[in-house]
Amino acid sequence: MSREERIVLWIGIAVVVIMFSGGSGLADCPSAELTGDCFVDFEDFAVMANQWLDPYDWENLALMANQWLTSDPNIPDDMVYIPDGEFLMGDNFNEGDSDEKPVHAVSVDAFFMSKYEVTNQQYCDYLNSAFGTGVYVSGGIVYGTGNNQSYCDTSAYSSYSQISLSTGVFSVSTKAGRDMSSDPMVEVSWYGSAAYCNWRSQREGYQQCYNLSTWDCDFSKNGYRLPTEAEWEYAARGGLSGKRFPWGDTISHSQANYRSDAYYGYDVSPTRGCHPAYNDGIRPYTAPVGSFSPNGYGLYDMAGNVREWCNDWYKDTYYQSSPYSNPTGPASGGYSVLRGGCWGNQPDNCRVAFRDDIFYPGDRAYDSGFRVVLSD
């Protein structure tokens, strides 16, 4: 049965159940999440089924059925389904840099994206699995075997790294007495992010997307990879149209881990500077993934915490000639694109349209990490 047929079938079942149930009305939840656990599942369906839709909210019903039933049961729980669709990519407020213009229509196919940024523990698991075969360490830096590209730093090279190596075993450090296992991986390069994607693909039985010699990405493969810029921005918008952030047009410390600044009228945080809950005086000031509410697609930290590597090369004029359907970026370039802003960025860098162009693919920074996607 096709995905479309399953959606139609389950929408029909949902409507029948609702029409023969009683209740007080469906809450306004654009992500179809009704039970407060941040997951769209059959518990949410049960809540909906016991409520009258008065008036019938067919849009929410269709979204709910789509999110439940387009997911492959073999897809890991940390991945969420992003439906296909068209959106306006770029700066809708005419307040960003010229590389965010012109605003242009883009269509993307459906895909899966990790709910969270890849954590220190997840990357540590990769390093322990690949040590001696896929990676080696020299001078406190992890390199790829065979290509000699820098993948990430250990704490022996950079105090900002939360990964330590002792007696041949990688482990996650503590910072100011806090376990950093669930914080996002930092001090990781684009190369190290792509290599992680290949490792996870192999471990879970998917095809590997990256050639670790040429670093080309084969988009016909079904494995893990970094999101394209278009996929990232589409997913970050969470189903909303023309908004500044993943949730709306203003930002505060209740919504994201960033550096608040009263200069920006849309920064309405009562606290200023770096987030007081995570500014412990020892950089990086990252927060555990999932510390803030998700966007409409169930994705966390799409604004702030760490900047996220995208698959694309950066070109400042790319939007002037970007393809409409599934753009994958320029064929070549010098810098790689990062998106989303970080714990140390002001709110303008956390806008969904902002394009970060200051890093080469081999660079490693204390405010940059990544998340992964799977093609549907």
Give the pLDDT score at 261: 98
Q: pLDDT digits over 100-154, tens only? A: 999 999 999 999 999 999 999 999 999 999 999 999 999 999 999 999 999 999 9
**Predicted pLDDT of residue 40:** 52
Token pair for 34: 């009704």
Q: 169-199 burial, b if ≥16 CB within 10 A, otherwise e?
A: ebbbbebeeeebbbbbbbbbbbbbbbbbbbb
> How confident is the model over 157-173, as a mean pLDDT?
98
Tokens of 139: 């001078």
**Residue 16: pLDDT band by 50, 70, 90 thresholds?**
very low
Domain ranges of the chain: 3-70, 74-376
Q: Is the pLDDT of residue 351 over 60?
A: yes
Q: Which pLDDT score, from 0 to 100, does residue 74 have? A: 80
Question: HSE of 20 in the Cβ direction (CA atoms, 13 Å)?
Answer: 5
Supply φ then ψ for residue 166, to 5 degrees.
-145, 130
The torsion defined by the Cα of 117, 120, 125 and 126, in degrees rounded to 10, comes to 60
Examine residue 284 and say whether the peptide bond preceding it is cis (omega within 30 degrees of 0). yes
The counts of H helices and E strands in the chain are 6, 17
> pLDDT digit string (tens) for 314-338?
999 999 999 999 999 999 999 999 9
> Would you state the pLDDT for residue 36?
56
pLDDT of residue 43: 54
Of the chain, the percentage scoring pLDDT greater than 70 comes to 81
- pLDDT score at 25: 40
pLDDT in tens, 71-106: 566 889 999 999 999 999 999 999 999 999 999 999
Q: What CATH number is given for 74-376 in this structure?
A: 3.90.1580.10
Is pLDDT above 60 for 53?
no
